[in-house]
Every structure is written in structure tokens, then in C-alpha cells.
Amino acid sequence: MNNPIGNLNKLFDSRIRLGVMSVLMVNEEVSFNDLKQLLEVTDGNLASHLNTLEENGFLKVHKGFVGRKTNTTYSITKAGEKAFKSHLAALEHMIKFMQ
């Protein structure tokens, strides 16, 4: 039997990264500002976590414009969805395993 802790994704140890993934799982496309408001984080903090998730291929970035302002939106990738689901499954498994 493999160790359930092994299925927990290290990337999702961060509450902010886990929060971003949770939002993107249930919303097709979310803007930077909406993410910031939902997770109550600063611009710089959020940007660095988004970068990490993008580098790992868990989310797609779309750069657009609303008038003259840039409007960056994010959506989840297939790989991101898969990683998030197995992370959830591992969490659930560990709770059952411990009871």
C-alpha cells in the first residue's frame, strides 16, 4: 500500500495557491482583481503564487484589455484540475485513514 501523504501535492501547502485553485475549479475564468478580493491578499503576493501555478502548468493566463486598462484573467488547465482532484482525494483519504 502506498503512503497517502505522498499524494498530497507540495504546491498546495500554500493556502493562497489552494485558494486560487478552489476558485478556478468552479469558475471558468476569473480576473486578477476578483481573485485578490476573494482571497484577501496583496497584489505582489498573489502575483508570485499565480506565477508558480502557471510555471507548473496548472493555470492558463489570458491577457486582455478593458478600455485602456489591462485585464488579466486566469483559468484552470486539465493538468491543474487533475492535480487538485488528487490532492483533495488524498486529504479525504487521510481523514478516513486516521479515524
Partner 1 sequence: MNEQQHLQTLSDIKRIMERSSRFISLSGLSGIWAGLSGLGGAWIAYSWLNSYYAAWDARGGYSDADYASLRLRLMLLAAGVLLVALAGGAYFTWRRARRNGLPIWDATSRKVLVNIGIPLAAGGLFILGLIYNNQVSLIAPSCLVFYGLALVNASKYTLTDIRYLGLAEIALGILNIFLLRRGIYFWTLGFGVLHIVYGMVMWWKYERKTREIAN
Kind plus residue range of the DSSP H or E element containing 69: strand 69-76
Q: Which is nearer to partner 1, 57 or 97 (CB)?
A: 97
Give 33 or 70: the residue with its C-beta nearer to partner 1: 33
**Least Cβ distance, residue 27 to partner 1 (angstroms):** 6
- Give the whole-angstrom CA distance, residue 99 versus residue 88: 17
- Residue 55 C-beta: closest distance to partner 1, Å: 22
Eight-class DSSP state of 68: T
Residue 2 or 99 having the CB closest to partner 1: 99
Three-class HEC string of 21-54: HHHHHHCCCEEHHHHHHHHCCCHHHHHHHHHHHH
Binding stretches for partner 1 (CB under 8 A): 15, 18-19, 22-23, 25-27, 30-31, 34, 37-39, 88, 91-92, 94-95, 98-99
Q: How far is the CB of 13 from partner 1 (least distance, A)?
A: 9
Q: Measured from the CB atom, is 38 or 47 closer to partner 1?
A: 38
Burial (0-12, 13-18, 19+ Cβ within 10 Å), 31: middle
